[in-house]
Amino acid sequence: MKVGVVISTEDGPSPTRVDFVVTEGVVHQGQYVEIDSPQGRMLALVEDVIKTNRYFGQPEIVREYELRSSLSQNFPVKEWEFLVGVARPMIVWNDAGTERPTLPPSPGAEVRVPHPEDLKRFLGFNEDGLHIGSLQFHDVLVSLDINRLIQKHFAILAMSGAGKSYTTSVILEEILDRRPEQGRIGVVVFDVHGEYVGFGDPVSDGEHVDYSDRTTVLRVSDLRIPVPSLSANDFTYFIPDLSPAQRRELDRIISAMKSDMEHGSGPYDLADLIDRIAADEVMKDSTRGALISWLRSLEKTGLFDAIERPAVDRIVRPGEMVVFDLSSTLDAKVRQMVVAYFSKRLFDLRREGRIPPTLMVIEEAHNFIPSDIQRTDALARGTLETIAREGRKFGLGLCLISQRPVKLSSTALSQCNTHIILRITNPYDLNHVAESSEGIDSRSAKMITNLRPGEAIIVGAAVNFPVFVRVRRRKSQESKYEKSLVEMAREFEEKMQKVEEDLALL
């Protein structure tokens, strides 16, 4: 279907920019068009649409007319209003194959809406992939290839409320809905705000799909890090201030305890370790005091025990999801410890092939892998950066979610080969995303500020060219955590009323 004709401007047409005037219907920012070029048929992304009207081009004339009567009353101004599209050529194809555009189309060339099949082919969608929504302004389902998206890691970047967790939930549904013959992976989510716990609740409304049979939600109080699995070096993850001398002494004690364990004494916990240090005769008193007080502070978290809980190798299963509900503790340090231990454990188990290929989702990723290398509280940083670098070799994919991309480690972000970008308005974050995302130029950066909730631009490994997508509605129920202010206010009053009624009964 013809929509317009290429025009000649100061900047083009060139192989990187083609302007056209719309002759039929409308063209939207973010839509794809097809143009005849000397190399074949050219696919181009409309990055901007501009309305022009000669009558309104000169401010002094417009003002003069408007003071006396009105331009529209005296002239056929409507007929001189034009819509001009600014398009970025992506690829050209002909009978011989596809090429990079190196020649511009001629002014006067026809601009058309591309055929859906051509779009699917050139954008790199896979029918058997993850169906996360539809291409804006085209009748095409967006179906991302699971290998290209997950194996090479991806990031979901947007300001608060733009739909990051919603989009992630849609991706998780797609993963959980896969059949065994399609290849099923495991999913582990580190859920800072309890936004995914709804997956674990049985559905009773008939409206949503029930994922509770495939989801395990773990509260922090359900978790235990096994002390015997920790070397003195591992302890430095939890106690970054441990001095070399303290570490040496801890190492000596741990070796002794491990050897006892091999000789039949059972697994030990922090209390046993503390007792052993207290009874040690060669340790300097200052070292002993410091170690005991560090270990006591760890003990207070309630997170350590003699054996692991739950057994990670048994709960991560193909086609199933484990949600670590970190909103169940207010202690930021405990959250860091949970992510540090369990992410390392997943990495090791996956390397040994003891769990299926797995996607690891990290909400608020900037708090776990911050760009600020001075932040000593980021206990999981080392492990997560290793997974970002090496995970793909072992089939451990990362999904980093952040509303502050500037604060997210650029090393980690650069390992995320696909970026799903929703609305961002903060200029620092926008700049950072534009710089670190392949295929975003200044004009597409402008598009990011115009996105509405649930609209995203996908760039990078999972797609051949930037894709403007309307994320589909979710099938799973939203987490109860997502309460509106009014709901919370009502709940509070109901609770107060109950308390008063109870008191009245006394």
Ligand X SMILES: Nc1ncnc2c1ncn2[C@@H]1O[C@H](COP(=O)(O)OP(=O)(O)OP(=O)(O)O)[C@@H](O)[C@H]1O
**Contacting residues toward Mg ion, per CB under 5 A:** 164-165
Question: Which DSSP string do the residues of 289-304 spell out, in sequence order?
Answer: HHHHHHHHHHHHTT-E
Smaller CB separation from Mg ion, 165 or 437: 165
One residue of 27, 46, 132, 162 binding ligand X per CB under 6 A = 162
Using the rule CB under 6 A, is 403 a contact of ligand X?
yes
Considering only 153-161, 337-345, 346-354, 460-468, which stretch makes contact with ligand X by CB under 6 A? Answer: 153-161
End-to-end CA distance of the chain: 77
Using the rule CB under 6 A, is 171 a contact of ligand X?
no
153, 398 contact by CB (below 8 A): yes
Give the per-residue contact string, 212-241, with ligand X (x = CB under 6 A; - = no).
Answer: ------------------------------
CB of 481 to ligand X, least distance (A): 10
d(CA 392, CA 414): 14
Helix boundaries (H) for 352-380:
365-368
Smaller CB separation from ligand X, 7 or 130: 130
What count of other Cβ atoms lies within 10 Å of the Cβ of residue 270? Answer: 20
Q: What is the DSSP letter of 106?
A: P
CB of 165 to Mg ion, least distance (A): 3
One residue of 41, 148, 164, 350 binding ligand X per CB under 6 A = 164
Among residues 458, 443, 437, 449, the alpha carbon closest in space to that of 134 is found at 458
In b/e form, how buried is each residue of 181-214, taking b as 16+ CB within 10 angstroms?
A: eeebbbbbbbbbebbbbbbbbebeeeeeebbeeb
Give the per-residue contact string, 361-400, with ligand X (x = CB under 6 A; - = no).
Answer: ----------------------------------------
d(CA 496, CA 499): 5
CB of 424 to ligand X, least distance (A): 10
419, 402 contact by CB (below 8 A): no
Smaller CB separation from Mg ion, 215 or 402: 402
d(CA 466, CA 142): 12
Q: What does the H/E/C string look like for 403-422?
A: CCHHHECHHHHHHCCEEEEC
One residue of 104, 129, 454, 466 binding ligand X per CB under 6 A = 454
Which tokens go with 60? 């002094």
**Binds 380, which of ligand X, Mg ion, none (CB < 5 to 8 A, cut-off by type)?**
none
Smaller CB separation from Mg ion, 277 or 471: 471
423, 158 contact by CB (below 8 A): yes
Smaller CB separation from ligand X, 41 or 432: 432
380, 110 contact by CB (below 8 A): no
Using the rule CB under 6 A, is 402 a contact of ligand X?
no
Point out which residues pair with 399 in neighbouring strands: 154, 361
Using the rule CB under 6 A, is 473 a contact of ligand X?
yes
Using the rule CB under 6 A, is 482 a contact of ligand X?
yes
**Binds 471, which of ligand X, Mg ion, none (CB < 5 to 8 A, cut-off by type)?**
ligand X
Smaller CB separation from ligand X, 173 or 249: 173
Smaller CB separation from ligand X, 142 or 239: 142
CB of 429 to ligand X, least distance (A): 12
Q: Which amino acid is at 307?
A: I
**Binds 188, which of ligand X, Mg ion, none (CB < 5 to 8 A, cut-off by type)?**
none
Smaller CB separation from Mg ion, 47 or 173: 173
d(CA 234, CA 340): 10
Smaller CB separation from Mg ion, 368 or 394: 368
**Binds 459, which of Mg ion, ligand X, none (CB < 5 to 8 A, cut-off by type)?**
none
Query: Ramachandran region of residue 462, left (φ > 0), alpha (ψ -120 to 50) or beta?
Result: alpha
Using the rule CB under 6 A, is 423 a contact of ligand X?
no
Considering only 26-34, 157-165, 281-289, 432-440, which stretch makes contact with ligand X by CB under 6 A? Answer: 157-165
User: What is the phi/psi pair of residue 251, to 5°?
Assistant: -60, -45
Number of residues that bind ligand X (CB under 6 A): 14
CB of 363 to Mg ion, least distance (A): 6
d(CA 325, CA 506): 38
Using the rule CB under 6 A, is 469 a contact of ligand X?
no
CB of 155 to ligand X, least distance (A): 13
Among residues 118, 173, 189, the alpha carbon closest in space to that of 474 is found at 173
Residue 463 to residues 92, 121, 246, 375, 492, Cα–Cα distance (Å):
16, 10, 51, 35, 47
Using the rule CB under 6 A, is 160 a contact of ligand X?
yes
Binding residues for ligand X, rule: CB under 6 A, are 158, 160-166, 403, 453-454, 471, 473, 482
